[in-house]
């Protein structure tokens, strides 16, 4: 078993999923509903990156920045048009959740209408992998790891060291009390939408860079993102990061394990090779999720 390679693969996967899971969990933390449209906001942004990068010929970093801002503003506009009204009326969170599902489907089809259903790639040539600590890793993957790390640290500092972060945490704890303390909760909620979506666009773009960009990509990545957010403790951004890492490790390590070798104590007696069939890969993360939730119903870092 090539441990270095398996760890490298898991880290890259966690870096991609982590940013998306953080955005998803932020919305839940503040607004108390699961935003099914989160991945589709991210993919809309990833398509905007494609247009800026491959259509207008802009630098990739600038394209990501512009797309993150544009998608963030779209998310704010949708919040103003739909969810703000729900908040005023005190509509149940299940209604908001179903509405977000509708928004997801609408966004997916708008993307398909504008960019067609053809799958696309960014203007990044195929890269030969570098050998680092025994693992093969491409420059793009190193970029993904660094970007994710920087974004996570930035997010931590924003949350812990700024007035904005304090206000956001106050709203998360008790929106009414925060408003009584002169915190403009509506303004903060709009900033939260903007940030969650911008993070999502960076994550979505990284996934598309590593693989392929197509309109249904948001739907295809939604389940692992949900899984990561719930696993880490829904509502907790650090939990979402940890959940993504656990999920990525589970997917990569468990499939590589030879249980026959382990159960025979390293081949002390003949047991043959026992490995989980790769066809069950999607189930692995859910089994881990169920086990964690049984032991700790609020997720790994969830609040009690």
CB nearer to another protein: give 58 or 142: 142
Between residue 267 and residue 296, which ones bind another protein under the rule CB under 8 A? 275, 277-279, 281-282
Nearest CB to another protein, comparing residues 26 and 111: 111
Q: Does 119 bind another protein (CB under 8 A)?
A: yes
Does residue number 261 form part of the binding site for another protein (CB under 8 A)?
Answer: no
Angle between helices 217-232 and 185-210 (to 10 degrees): 120
* Candidate residues 84, 87, 112, 156; the one interacting with another protein per rule CB under 8 A: 112
What track of x and - describes contact with another protein for positions 136 through 155 (by CB under 8 A)?
x-x--x--------------
DSSP 56: S
Decide: 23 and 200 in contact? Cβ < 8 Å: yes
CA separation, residue 140 to residues 57, 127, 205, 213, 252 (Å) = 19, 8, 12, 16, 20
Bridge-based pairing state of the strands 135-137 and 130-132: antiparallel
Counting residues that bind another protein (by CB under 8 A) gives: 37
Q: How far is the CB of 65 from another protein (least distance, A)?
A: 23
Task: Kindly give, in sequence order, each residue whose CB lies less than 8 Å from that of residue 148, ignoring residues fewer than 6 positions away.
Answer: 15, 16, 18, 19, 203, 206
CB of 209 to another protein, least distance (A): 11
Name the minimum Å distance from CB 99 to another protein.
Answer: 23
Q: Considering the rule CB under 8 A, would residue 256 count as an interface residue with another protein?
A: yes
DSSP codes joined into one string, 62-110: HHHHHHHHHHHHHHHHHIIIIIHHHHHHT--HHHHHHHHHHHHHHHHHH
In this structure, what are the phi and psi dihedrals at residue 225, rounded to the nearest 5 degrees?
A: -65, -45
Give residues 160-219 in contact with another protein (rule: CB under 8 A). Answer: 207, 210-212, 214-217
What is the token pair recorded at 13? Answer: 């996967």
The residues that touch another protein, with contacts defined as CB under 8 A, are 1-2, 5-6, 9, 13, 112, 117-119, 121, 126-127, 129, 136, 138, 141, 207, 210-212, 214-217, 220-221, 251-252, 255-256, 275, 277-279, 281-282
């Amino acid at each position: 078993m090539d441990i270095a390679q398996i760890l490298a693969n898991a880290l890259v996967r966690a870096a991609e999923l982590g940013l998306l899971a953080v955005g998803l969990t932020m919305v839940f933390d503040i607004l108390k509903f699961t935003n099914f449209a989160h991945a589709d906001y991210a993919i809309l942004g990833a398509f905007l990156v494609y247009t800026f990068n491959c259509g207008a010929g802009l630098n990739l970093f600038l394209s990501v920045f512009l797309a993150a801002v544009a998608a963030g503003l779209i998310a704010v506009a949708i919040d103003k048009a739909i969810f703000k009204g729900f908040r005023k009326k005190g509509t149940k969170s299940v209604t908001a959740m179903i509405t977000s599902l509708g928004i997801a489907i609408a966004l997916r089809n708008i993307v398909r209408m504008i960019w067609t259903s053809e799958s696309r790639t960014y203007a990044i040539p195929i890269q030969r992998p570098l050998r680092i600590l025994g693992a093969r890793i491409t420059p793009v993957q190193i970029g993904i790891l660094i970007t994710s790390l920087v974004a996570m640290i930035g997010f931590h500092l924003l949350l812990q060291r700024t007035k904005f972060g304090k206000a956001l945490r106050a709203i998360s704890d008790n929106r009414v009390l925060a408003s009584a303390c002169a915190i403009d909760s509506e303004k903060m909620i709009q900033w939260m939408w903007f940030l969650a979506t911008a993070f999502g666009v960076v994550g979505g773009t990284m996934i598309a860079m590593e693989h392929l960009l197509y309109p249904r990509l948001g739907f295809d990545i939604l389940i692992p993102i949900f899984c990561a957010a719930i696993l880490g403790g829904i509502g907790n951004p650090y939990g979402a990061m940890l959940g993504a890492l656990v999920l990525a490790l589970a997917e990569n390590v468990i499939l590589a394990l030879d249980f026959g070798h382990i159960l025979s104590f390293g081949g002390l007696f003949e047991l043959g090779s026992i490995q989980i069939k790769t066809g069950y890969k999607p189930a692995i993360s859910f089994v881990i999720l169920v086990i964690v939730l049984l032991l700790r119903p609020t997720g790994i870092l969830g609040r009690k």
